[in-house]
């Protein structure tokens, strides 16, 4: 039976869900922005490479999807409706909650007042344009590394440093970490490893190793999720992420599906999934499949997923493609240099291409799943021989 599915949040997860579920259902897609933001490219925007927005209307053209430009401010779980900031109330048969995440600047004093975040990439780019001084990126996760590398390569007149509580890219293999450090140093970025930031002020950072002067600070250290799920009464974890069952239905309210960064999703053999585009799109597509199955009286199979790689861009000509096991732990296989940069760019384009393909033909998008016969941590097949590029840029295999 055709149902009215309301999707709040038109990011990677929400848009994928909306496109796929529009195959058989009527969809209302709600987001305060008129453009889909390619969040995985925000570090490029910060470095002055223009906007990453694609008009939402184009991305849903031809589908039974009504877009509503507004912010969801409340959910009536018993009455099955969503209230918007323009005063409208939208009823639903099933709700897909896909509000994503944003940088958390509340954990360290001064970060909210004196630091930029990638969500303000356009403002950051404008601040850096034509200026000079020192820009400090805080956070040694993949976003912090990408921001530091991009700015070190492109922000003329600025010295860049990366401040991190551990080693940059702590989740990568030893070869991956070595390459990240070497690439940042080659680009001229100074690395302050094992350094905890205790406060941000207008002229830099206070850390447990002393003061680090900086004219501009970019905060990437942690992520937080919108409080709407908790305020509405959905069961959430300590970070405010909605708890879901094996079919991504809220564990407290099964009419609500929660996908992407806003959900705490666990998969068999992996445990908790990390917040990533790589998990947002599969969860969005899967939730649409479940809605479809339930509306036809079928019992959905549990969510299945496996990781394949972690991608870290290091400016426009370098990157690390880190092969990972099903559970995201790093394998020793690492691709670096120009080939990795090309693969990374291809993957970035693929995400948008996959959304367009899903619009043209819902059901097209596929994601990696564990083989039923393979243990989650089964090793990759052995490599026959290392590859050297004639250009001298390395494709590194091995430790």
Ligand X SMILES: Cc1cc2nc3c(=O)[nH]c(=O)nc-3n(C[C@H](O)[C@H](O)[C@H](O)COP(=O)(O)OP(=O)(O)OC[C@H]3O[C@@H](n4cnc5c(N)ncnc54)[C@H](O)[C@@H]3O)c2cc1C
Chain positions 198 to 227 lying near ligand X, rule: CB under 6 A, are: 226
- By CB under 6 A, tell whether 31 contacts ligand X: yes
- By CB under 6 A, tell whether 99 contacts ligand X: yes
C-alpha to C-alpha distances, 205 to 105, 152, 191, 192, nearest whole angstrom:
14, 19, 14, 12
C-alpha span between 141 and 164 (Å, rounded)? 8
- By CB under 6 A, tell whether 241 contacts ligand X: no
| Nearest Cα to Cα of residue 25 among 397, 289, 267 | 289
- Pick the piece of the chain touching ligand X (CB under 6 A) from 11-19, 105-113, 293-301, 388-396: 11-19
Nearer to ligand X, 25 or 43 (CB): 43
DSSP alpha helix (H) spans, 2-101: 12-21, 42-46, 56-60
- By CB under 6 A, tell whether 275 contacts ligand X: yes
Nearer to ligand X, 82 or 333 (CB): 82
- Pick the piece of the chain touching ligand X (CB under 6 A) from 31-39, 154-162, 286-294, 384-392: 31-39
E strand residue ranges, 259-308 = 263-264, 266-267, 271-272
**Residue 341: CB partners within 8 Å, gap ≥ 6?**
313, 314, 315, 316, 317, 318, 319
Q: Residue 344 Cβ, how far from ligand X at the closest point, in Å?
A: 7
Q: Residue 399 Cβ, how far from ligand X at the closest point, in Å?
A: 24
- By CB under 6 A, tell whether 13 contacts ligand X: yes
Q: Binding ligand X by CB under 6 A: which of 7, 267, 276, 324? A: 276
SS3 382: coil
Q: Residue 367 Cβ, how far from ligand X at the closest point, in Å?
A: 12
Binders of ligand X: how many residues, by CB under 6 A? 36
Burial of 238 (0-12, 13-18, 19+ CB in 10 A): exposed
Which helix (H) or strand (E) segment holds residue 183: the answer is helix 174-186
Q: Binding ligand X by CB under 6 A: which of 10, 17, 60, 323? A: 10
Q: Residue 97 Cβ, how far from ligand X at the closest point, in Å?
A: 9
C-alpha span between 320 and 175 (Å, rounded)? 10
C-alpha span between 32 and 10 (Å, rounded)? 9
Q: Binding ligand X by CB under 6 A: which of 169, 171, 260, 339? A: 260
| Nearest Cα to Cα of residue 151 among 137, 139, 165, 131 | 137
Which helix (H) or strand (E) segment holds residue 29: the answer is strand 26-31
Q: Binding ligand X by CB under 6 A: which of 63, 94, 97, 146? A: 146
The tokens 């058989």 sit on which residue?
24
- Write the interaction track for ligand X spanning residues 42-81; mark x where CB under 6 A is met and - where it is not: xx---------------------------xx---------
Q: Residue 386 Cβ, how far from ligand X at the closest point, in Å?
A: 25
Q: Which stretches of the chain bind ligand X, using CB under 6 A?
A: 8-14, 30-33, 37, 39-40, 42-43, 71-72, 98-101, 118, 143, 146, 226, 228, 260-262, 275-278, 280, 311
């Amino acid at each position: 039976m055709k149902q009215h599915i309301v999707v709040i949040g038109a990011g990677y997860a929400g848009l994928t869900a909306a496109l796929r579920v529009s195959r058989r259902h009527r969809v209302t897609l709600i987001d305060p922005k008129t453009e889909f933001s390619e969040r995985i490219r925000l570090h490029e925007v910060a470095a002055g490479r223009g906007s990453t927005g694609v008009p939402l209307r184009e991305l849903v053209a031809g589908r039974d999807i009504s877009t509503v430009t507004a912010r969801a401010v409340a959910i009536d779980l018993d009455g099955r409706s969503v209230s918007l900031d323009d005063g409208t109330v939208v009823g639903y048969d099933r709700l897909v909650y896909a509000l994503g995440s944003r940088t958390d600047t509340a954990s360290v004093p001064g970060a909210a007042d004196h630091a930029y975040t990638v969500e303000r990439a356009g403002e950051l780019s404008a601040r850096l344009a034509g200026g000079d001084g020192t820009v400090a990126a805080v956070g040694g996760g993949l976003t912090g590394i990408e921001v530091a590398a991009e700015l070190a390569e492109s922000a003329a007149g600025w010295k860049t440093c990366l401040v991190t509580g551990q080693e940059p890219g702590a989740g990568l293999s030893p070869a991956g970490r070595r390459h990240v450090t070497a690439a940042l140093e080659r680009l001229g970025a100074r690395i302050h490893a094992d350094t905890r930031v205790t406060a941000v002020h207008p002229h830099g950072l206070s850390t447990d190793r002393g003061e680090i002067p900086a004219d501009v600070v970019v905060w990437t250290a942690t992520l937080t999720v919108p409080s709407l799920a908790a305020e509405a009464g959905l069961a959430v974890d300590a970070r405010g992420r909605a708890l879901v069952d094996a079919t991504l239905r809220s564990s407290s309210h099964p009419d609500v599906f929660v996908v992407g960064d806003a959900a705490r999703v666990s998969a068999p053999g992996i445990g908790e999934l990390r917040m990533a585009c790589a998990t947002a799109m599969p969860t969005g597509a899967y939730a649409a499949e479940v809605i479809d199955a339930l509306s036809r009286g079928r019992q959905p199979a549990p969510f299945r997923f496996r990781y394949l790689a972690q991608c870290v861009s290091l400016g426009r000509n370098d990157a690390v493609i880190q092969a990972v096991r099903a559970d995201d732990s790093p394998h020793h296989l690492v691709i670096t240099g120009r080939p990795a940069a090309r693969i990374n760019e291809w993957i970035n384009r693929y995400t948008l291409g996959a959304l367009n393909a899903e619009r043209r033909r819902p059901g097209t998008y596929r994601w990696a799943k564990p083989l039923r016969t393979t243990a989650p941590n089964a090793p990759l097949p052995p490599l026959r021989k290392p590859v050297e590029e004639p250009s001298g840029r390395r494709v590194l295999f091995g430790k």
